[in-house]
Structure 1
Amino acid sequence: MDLKPIQKKRVYQEIIEQIKDSIRNGGLKPGDKLPSERELADRLSVSRNAVREAVSVMESAGLVEILQGIGIFLKEDNQDILTSRMDGLLNQQGLNLAELLEVREGLEGQGAFLAAARRTASDLDAIKIAYEKMKNAYALNQIAAEEDYEFHIAVVTAAQNATLLDAVKLFSDTFLLGVQHLRSRSIKAGKSQTVLTEHFEIYQAIEQQDAERAEKAMRVHIANAKKRHLLDSKFTSL
C-alpha cells in the first residue's frame, strides 16, 4: 500500500484547488472572468482575506489577470496547461516558505561572505547590473522576481564555489515563487524601498570586500523577508 504524508492545506490553497477543479470540469475556461471577491467568499464560506491571498498567489504565478474595475480573469491558455500549472503551484506552495528562507539565510549568508572575499571586477559588475535591473523594475511597480533571483545568483556565483551555487539553484523554482509571493505583498504594503535598500547594502559590502558586513547584510535581508512573511501570514490566514 503506497501511502503519502498528509499535509494540511491553508484556506487559499483550497480556493485555488476548487478553481482548478472547476476548470477541469468545464465550469471555467481559460479567459473566463472569475466570480467577484465577495461572491467567491460567500460561495466558498471563507473570508475575503483568504480569497485575496488566493488571487494574489495566482496573479504572482501568472495564472490570472486583474483588470481594475472590471474583474479577475483566467489567463488565456490551453486548459491542460493551465491546470497543470496550478498543480505545480499548489505543490510548490506546499513547501513552508519560512523554512525555505531559513535555509537560504545559511547558504546565501555564506555565499555573500565568500563573494566579498573572492569577487572579481566582472563578478561585481554582474551584481551591479542585477541590482540596477531590480531597481528599474521596482520603479515601474513590478514584482521583479526574475531580477531579484538574478541578483542573488550573481552574489553566490561571485563566491567561486560551484557546490554552493548548485545548492542555491536547487531551490530556484521555489525561490522564484517565494519572491513573487513576497514581492506582491511588499508592493501593496509600500515596502519596495526597504527591500531595495537591503539589496544595496549587500552590494556595497561586497564592493568594499567587507566579508563580515556582506554576510550580515545578506542574513538581515533574508531574516527580514521571513519576518515580513510571518507578519503578513498572521493577517491573511484563518
Structure 2
Amino acid sequence: MDFSPVKKQRVYREIVRQLRKKIEEGEIALGEQLPSERNLAESLSVSRSSVKEAFSVLESVGVVEIKQGSGVYLRNNNHNDVIAKINAIIHGVSVDIVELMEFRLALERDTAYYAAIRGNREEISNIASAYRNLEMAAEQNENGAEEDLAFHMAIARAAGNSIVERVMYMLSSEVREGLKESRESTLHVPARSSMVLKEHKAIYDAIKNGSANIAREAMAVHLEGVRKRYL
C-alpha cells in the first residue's frame, strides 16, 4: 500500500501568516517596529530560531529592515506590495516571479499602447492568430502557456521598438515558467479561464481598433489579474 509523503508546513510561514494578519488589520503599520524575537516566540509558542528565520525571509524580500541593536521594522513601502510579497512567502512562490510580474506590468502596459499606434496590418493579423491559438488551447482544456507567451510576443513586435522586443525575448523563458504555473491553477476554475480569455480579447480588440489608451489599460488590468491569480 503506497502513501504520498505528508508535506510539513514550515513554521516560519505560519509566523509570517500571522504577521500578515496584524498588518492587514492595522495593528502593525508601515514603518512600525515588529514585536521582538523573544516576545513573538513566546506569543506564538514557537522557537526563537523559527522567528529568526521568518524575519530573515521577510528581510530578504524587502518587507522588513533589521536594525542591529534596535529591532525589526516593517518597511514603509506600498501596502499592497508588502501584502503581495508576504503572500508569495506563505504560498512558497518565488519572489523573483513576483518581481518579474511587476516588471512585465511596467513594460507591457506601454507596449500595448505603442502596438495600437504603430502595428501594421500583418502585425495585427499575427496578434489575432495568436489569440485564436490561445482560444483553442482553452477550449481543449490545455495549459496554453506557449500560446499565451506567443500572444504577448506578437504585441511586442507590433510595438515597433526593437529594444522592447529584445527584452521580451530575454525574459521569455522566465515568463513562460510563470505562465505555466499561473495557468495551471486557472485550468481548474472554468470561470477564471474564461476571464483570462476575456482579458486577452480586450487587449487585442483595443490594439486592432487603434485605441492606444484603452489597450494600455486593458493590458494593465490583465497583468494585475495575473499577479492576483498567481498569488
TM range (shorter): 0.5 to 0.7
Cα distance in 2 for partners of 1:98, 1:226 equals: 7
Given the alignment of the two structures, is residue 213 of structure 1 paired with residue 178 of structure 2, yes or no? Answer: no
Cα distance in 1 for partners of 2:108, 2:127 equals: 14
Percent identical residues: 31
Instruction: Give the C-alpha shift of residue 197 in structure 1.
Output: 0.3
* 1:164 corresponding residue in structure 2: 164
Larger radius of gyration: 2
* 2:145 corresponding residue in structure 1: 145
Cα distance in 1 for partners of 2:168, 2:230 equals: 20
Cα distance in 1 for partners of 2:94, 2:193 equals: 26
Asked if 2 retains the 8 angstrom alpha-carbon contact of 1:107 and 1:168, the reply is no
Q: 1:122-159: per-residue Cα shift (whole Å, max 9, x none)?
A: 00100000000000010000001110000000001000
* 2:226 corresponding residue in structure 1: 225
> After superposition, where does 1:112-127 map in structure 2 within 5 Å?
112-127=112-127
What residue identity is the alignment partner of 1:121? R
> After superposition, where does 1:1-238 map in structure 2 within 5 Å?
36=3, 39-41=4-6, 44-46=7-9, 94=94, 96-190=96-190, 191-230=192-231
Aligned-residue RMSD, C-alpha: 1.8
Cα distance in 1 for partners of 2:186, 2:5 equals: 24
What residue identity is the alignment partner of 1:165? E
Instruction: Give the C-alpha shift of residue 170 in structure 1.
Output: 1.4
Name the SS of the counterpart of 1:171 in structure 2. Answer: helix
Cα distance in 2 for partners of 1:45, 1:101 equals: 29
Instruction: Give the C-alpha shift of residue 45 in structure 1.
Output: 3.4
Unmatched runs of 5 consecutive residues or more in structure 1: 1-34, 48-92, 231-238
- Return 126-135 or 96-105, whichever deviates more: 96-105
- Return 183-192 or 145-154, whichever deviates more: 183-192
Instruction: Give me the TM-score of the superposition, normalised by structure 2.
Output: 0.61
Cα distance in 2 for partners of 1:118, 1:45 equals: 52
Cα distance in 2 for partners of 1:179, 1:126 equals: 20
Larger RCO (alpha carbons 8 Å, 6+ apart): 1
List, as ranges, runs of 4+ consecutive aligned residues in structure 1 with deviation greater than 3 Å.
Answer: 44-47
Unmatched runs of 5 consecutive residues or more in structure 2: 11-92
Instruction: Give me the TM-score of the superposition, normalised by structure 1.
Output: 0.59
Cα distance in 2 for partners of 1:144, 1:201 equals: 18
Cα distance in 2 for partners of 1:193, 1:94 equals: 26
What residue identity is the alignment partner of 2:181? H
Alignment: residue pair count: 148
Cα distance in 1 for partners of 2:166, 2:139 equals: 31
